[in-house]
């Protein structure tokens, strides 16, 4: 497959390059950038020195699939200003196409003749297989949804949900900010966007898609962690399920999932960092069910999931190009 990457100079673009350069079924057609035209990839992504002789371009060429690695709000503008053949699959990693018009059974967003399907394989793999365009889920949204979808599917989300989740500094992107600087981030922690994080909208829409009429409050506190990559989310709610019943429910739901696994004990972040895995741990404390999930925000929360979606669309094994080793130490 010939792949085009738009926004290849950013953090997500760089991570995508690292994956597709080693994908056995992919040839990179072009890497587009508005700021780095004519420079080799390693001028920006220094770890790619010797891996490719491709240079950034300001032109758009032919490709079977185009990944949009642009900032939020930029993907819509780019597609309005640039046309692609209807046969070209578009996979957007921004939030521009994640939210459909209300809660609908066949959740999608439209831009002209292009219909974008929400690309969470754990929820709607069959729809992804037949999709022409994908709205890739957000990172926090992915971690939290894999912790809650089995309950919604079983109509067991019957109380408000409380979530605390922490993410690494790469979640903020490549642009330097005070809260991503080493001197601020190291030995430090803080919360942000309490109760109003933008990913709450897509989380709520997914839960409603599986459990029609779900209207309980989702109390979400995101934290900035003093590490570079990964998300650990702790979700808890009142539940009448026993721990054994909850574990069976989750394992049954994810029986055919390529990367999401339910562990029999506790989990930690390094089990998933540098992989496309989503790990889940379940505990019952009195009448409260605690579901902890962990993903790599740049892979399962972004690029890895985007490549997983591409594999599904083109009839490949989901794991192709994504058998990555975790950073255990």
The 3-state DSSP class for residue 79 equals helix
Query: What is the three-class DSSP state of 134?
Result: strand
Q: What is the spatial distance between Cα 23 and Cα 294, in angstroms, rounded to a whole number?
A: 24
3-state secondary structure of 273: coil
User: Is 235 an active-site residue?
Assistant: no
* Torsion angles phi and psi, residue 292, rounded to 5: -110, 135
Task: Please pick, among 17, 41, 68, 139, the residue that the annotation labels catalytic.
Answer: 139
181-189, long-range: CB < 8 A, 24+ apart: 185/224, 185/226, 186/226, 187/226, 188/224, 188/226, 189/223, 189/224, 189/225, 189/226
Rg of the chain, C-alpha, whole Å: 19
CA 78, CA 80: separation in Å to the nearest integer? 5
**Residues belonging to the active site:** 139
């Amino acid at each position: 497959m010939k792949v085009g990457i738009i926004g290849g100079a950013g953090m997500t673009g760089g991570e995508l390059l690292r994956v597709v350069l080693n994908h056995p079924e992919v040839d990179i057609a072009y890497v587009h950038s508005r700021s780095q035209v004519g420079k080799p990839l390693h001028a920006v992504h220094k770890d790619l020195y010797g891996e490719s002789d491709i240079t950034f371009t300001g032109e758009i060429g032919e490709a079977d699939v185009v990944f949009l690695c642009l900032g939020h709000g930029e993907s819509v503008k780019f597609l309005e200003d640039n046309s692609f053949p209807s046969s070209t699959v578009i996979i957007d990693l921004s939030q521009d196409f994640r939210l459909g018009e209300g809660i609908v059974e066949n959740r999608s967003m439209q831009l002209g003749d292009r219909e974008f399907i929400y690309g969470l394989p754990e929820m709607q793999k069959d729809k992804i297989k037949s999709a022409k365009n994908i709205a890739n889920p957000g990172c926090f949204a992915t971690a939290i949804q894999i912790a809650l979808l089995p309950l919604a599917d079983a109509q067991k989300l019957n109380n408000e949900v409380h979530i605390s989740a922490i993410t690494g500094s790469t979640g903020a992107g490549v642009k330097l900010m005070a809260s991503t600087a080493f001197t601020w981030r190291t030995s430090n922690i803080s919360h942000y966007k309490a109760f109003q994080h933008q990913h709450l909208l897509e989380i709520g829409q997914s839960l409603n898609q599986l459990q029609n009429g779900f209207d309980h409050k989702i109390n979400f506190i995101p934290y900035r962690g003093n590490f570079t990559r990964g998300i650990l989310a702790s979700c808890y709610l009142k539940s009448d399920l026993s721990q054994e019943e909850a574990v069976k429910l989750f394992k049954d739901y994810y029986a055919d999932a390529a990367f999401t696994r339910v562990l029999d004990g506790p989990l930690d972040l390094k089990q998933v960092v540098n992989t496309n895995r989503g790990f889940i741990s379940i505990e019952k404390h009195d009448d409260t069910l605690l579901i902890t999930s962990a993903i790599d925000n740049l892979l399962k929360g972004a690029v890895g999931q985007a490549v997983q979606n591409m594999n599904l669309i083109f009839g490949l094994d989901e794991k192709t190009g994504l058998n990555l080793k975790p950073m255990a130490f």
